[in-house]
Chain A
Amino acid sequence: MPSKFPSARAGLEGVSGDSTAPVAEKVGVNPEAAEVAGLDALELQPKRDKGRLGKRVWRSTWPKVLAIAIVLLVWQITVWSEWKPIYVLPSPSTVFTDLGNVITTGDFWDGVRVTMTRAFTGFLLAVVIGTIIGALVSQFAPLRAAIGSLITGLQTMPSIMWFPLAILLFQLSESAILFVVVLGAAPSVANGLISGIDYVPRTWLRVGQVLGMRGVAKYRHLILPASLPSFISGLKQGWAFSWRSLMAGELLVIVPGALSIGVRMQQARDLSDSSLVICYIIVVLIIGILIDVLFNAADNALRRRWGLLSS
């Protein structure tokens, strides 16, 4: 058969030199293979150079640094204006000196350990419970009709509302805190899974049908992987709720002997040590941001793998 595009081979050779795409097969042999490989090479976008690592890091860092600088400046100006006495609103330098002193004590890290242990235990428990409930609700229509909107309702419940009941049920104990943390996070996890399963694209479901997927295999190879992005958003939101519930819990439910971050903050307030109170606020903020960064990294890695991100 005569080649329709006599220049295809020349085109391929011209392109493949500077393309990073693998060459589909040995193209010297026949012109049809060369046409296909040439078209592939032309249609694949050459990898763009994203610039040096240092430059990229700087590009994403400077706005954050600037934002922090502005906050500190406004804070300092407020202090200078003597809006409040200095022992009520201390200056940034006092707070950061105190923060430096606090985080170098082993005592502080014991507090962080207590708090983070509670956070992770509560969150993991919420993930397990939320996943089971989400899977059941998405599977059984009557169950969805029964508790589908209840789950969304629970999500909007301010978690602090649960503490009086939790204290009556479990007294001032770890269980009381855990109870509220799980109630705060599980609905988000369940909802993430439910909407992930609900919105599996129709064409994928048809492919599953054509490939003869049924029962467990359908879940293993299609439904679960397809609902992963939504599930991860659910986890992220669930974490945010559980972290908030935990902080409220640590201020309200003082378990004897457990000197968590919340308890230490409460003690600082009792001593009217505003600087220390602000220190703990900063610590809680930083922990929250760090965990969020982890979730975002997981989310971005997934999106990049799936081709949902442009870069």
Chain B
Amino acid sequence: MSLLETRDVRTDPLVRLENVSKTYGSGSNALLALDGVSLTVQKGEFVCLLGASGCGKSTLLSLVAGLDQISGGTLDIGGRKVSLMFQEAALFPWLSVRGNVELPLRLQGVSRPERRKRADELLDIVRLRGFGDKRPHELSGGMRQRVALARALAQNADILLMDEPFGALDAMTRDILHDELERIWREQRLTVLFVTHNVREAVRLGDRVILLSSRPGRVIEDYPITHERPRRIDSPEVSGQAGEITDRLRAEVARHAQ
């Protein structure tokens, strides 16, 4: 880790996909989900994967997370650890909030006082100090997602994958969680690969927005987002660029009319 940190950020890809394809099924029923996808994620980068339905963005995350096998091409994460957050917080109801955050540490064999200390630190980071003894069902959806984030951070992974993590939240909560995620990403120096179908969300959060086509998923555009942080989702710059990307996305969707 320390070696990596001293290197130049831009020349240190944590995730490298080259010509990756993914096929489900075989023979005449085979479905090509991803076709020739190439992309890299640099250390410390926040990359958003954007696409309409059927672009295979969740498939791509599953591949990077190692939950699924690629059908062709090269996927290289250099044996690094990944953690993954879903749209549902998927906290375990038989554990307290703290117990959920401690679970990854427990699985790593961290001692009890050590993991308690670390869990409290993580709850502090997601601004949930004082909620450690609550049960997941006692929290709101936004709070549960923050617990899920704390649990993902507890894995101490090199790459954080997020699969539409705020998709089920109301707009106000989502706005505030964008600010929170941006802050935590900056403070904790995270590397994030974030999947969404919300264009503004992608522009609000990403250093880069990678636009995928649908059926099969291919990279059609890689937009660098250079607006100064912290950003606001309703700022003219974010809105303007989001509009541009939306036009491109709509054109792509219209292509599937026949």
Contacts and interface: CB of A to CB of B under 8 A. Distances in A.
A211 interface: yes
B90 A221 contact: no
B244 to A, nearest CB: 24
Interface string B87-106: 01010111000000001101
A212 interface: yes
A interface secondary structure, majority: helix
A44 B140 contact: yes
B112 interface: no
Contact of B130 (A25, A33, A211): A25
Contacts of A211: 103-104, 107, 155
A203 B84 CA distance: 12
Contacts of B127: 24-25, 33, 36-37
B86 interface: yes
Q: Which of A1, A36, A306, A308 counts the most chain B CB atoms within 10 A?
A: A36
B107 A212 contact: yes
Given A32-B183, A204-B92, A210-B67, A305 B103 contact: no
Interface string A185-211: 000000000000000010110110111
Interface in B119-135: 124, 127-131, 135
Nearest to B93: A306
B175 A210 contact: no
A217 interface: yes
A86 interface: no
Interface string A204-227: 101101111100010001100110
Contacts of B103: 211, 221
B231 to A, nearest CB: 10
A131 B130 CA distance: 39
B58 to A, nearest CB: 11
B230 A1 contact: yes
Interface string B213-237: 0000000000000000010100000
A25 B94 contact: no
A225 B94 contact: yes
Given A25-B124, A39-B176, A221 B142 contact: no
Nearest to A26: B129
B107 A213 contact: yes
B176 A306 contact: no
Nearest to A2: B232
B180 interface: yes
Given A35-B176, A307-B137, A43 B67 contact: no
B94 A203 contact: no
A22 interface: yes
A181 to B, nearest CB: 31
B116 to A, nearest CB: 17
Nearest to B163: A206
A210 B84 contact: yes
A59 interface: no
A23 interface: yes
Interface of B: 65, 67, 82-84, 86, 88, 90, 92-94, 103-104, 106-107, 124, 127-131, 135-143, 155, 172-173, 175-176, 179-180, 183, 230, 232
6 contacts: A4-B232, A22-B131, A24-B127, A206-B90, A211-B107, A226-B94
In the A-B complex, the 3 residue pairs with the closest CB atoms: A307-B137, A43-B140, A22-B130
Interface of A: 1, 4, 22-25, 32-33, 35-37, 39-40, 43-44, 201, 203-204, 206-207, 209-213, 217, 221-222, 225-226, 228, 305-308
